[in-house]
């Protein structure tokens, strides 16, 4: 029986990384509209949102490459863990962007930018993720630092979007 060589382990790692890369791309493509919407929510500028989305996806891939044991189990990538990593990195990139800082500063100074002024980017992001992402609501709330189960936030967003809130009219 031949002894396993160092190249066999490297081949297994490369095969696992290849399968993970394919799954990463599939999940990123399936969620591209939601990820884009989240970036627009935080940045409010298409050019900045595109750069932030690119930076977030790049960071997500770097995280996946560095810690595949968290995301890969029994040789196969775990789709929900990959999706959570992608969303976490994109949300971090968006919320840490200069555009998001500017929007927060304007809102704190009393210069809101439109009828959705009563909602934060995290509120709107939760609405997007809850309605269009495969992630469980508890994970979405955790990613967005929303302390409760998100029901109150989602009700508030729905009222504003449906123009049922008298303050918005």
Asked whether 134 and 83 are in contact (CB, 8 A), the reply is yes
Alpha-carbon distance of 34 to 29, in angstroms, equals: 10
Question: Position of tokens 């929007």?
Answer: 103
Q: Are 113 and 44 in contact (CB under 8 A)?
A: yes
Distance between CA 104 and CA 110 in Å, rounded? 10
Euclidean distance between CA atoms 4 and 104, whole angstroms:
57
How confident is the model at residue 10, as a pLDDT? 62
How many CB atoms lie under 10 A from the CB of residue 74? 5
Q: Show pLDDT as tens, one digit a residue, over the chain (169 residues).
A: 555 544 455 666 666 778 888 999 999 999 999 999 999 999 988 999 999 999 999 999 999 888 767 676 666 678 888 999 999 999 999 999 888 888 777 777 765 555 556 788 999 999 999 999 989 999 999 999 998 899 999 999 998 888 765 554 4
pTM of the model: 0.81
- Tell me the domain boundaries of the chain: 7-161
Phi first, then psi: what are they for 73, rounded to 5°? -125, 135
Distance CA 103, CA 167 (A): 21
CA distance 52 to 36: 9
Residue 126 pLDDT = 96
| Per-residue confidence (pLDDT) for residue 117, from 0 to 100 | 66
């Amino acid at each position: 029986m031949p002894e396993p060589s160092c190249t066999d382990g490297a081949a297994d790692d490369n095969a696992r990384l290849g399968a993970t890369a394919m799954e990463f791309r599939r999940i990123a493509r399936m969620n591209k509209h939601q990820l884009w919407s989240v970036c627009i929510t935080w940045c409010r500028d298409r050019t900045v949102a595109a750069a932030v989305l690119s930076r977030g996806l790049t960071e997500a891939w770097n995280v996946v490459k560095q810690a595949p044991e968290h995301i890969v189990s029994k040789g196969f990538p775990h789709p929900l863990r990959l999706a959570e990593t992608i969303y976490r990195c994109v949300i971090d990139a968006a919320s840490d962007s200069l555009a998001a800082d500017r929007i927060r500063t304007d809102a704190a100074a009393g210069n809101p930018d439109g009828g959705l002024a009563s909602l934060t980017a995290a509120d709107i992001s939760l609405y997007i993720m809850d309605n269009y992402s495969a992630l469980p609501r508890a994970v979405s709330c955790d990613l967005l630092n929303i302390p409760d189960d998100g029901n109150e936030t989602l009700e508030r967003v729905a009222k504003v979007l449906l123009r049922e809130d008298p303050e918005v009219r």
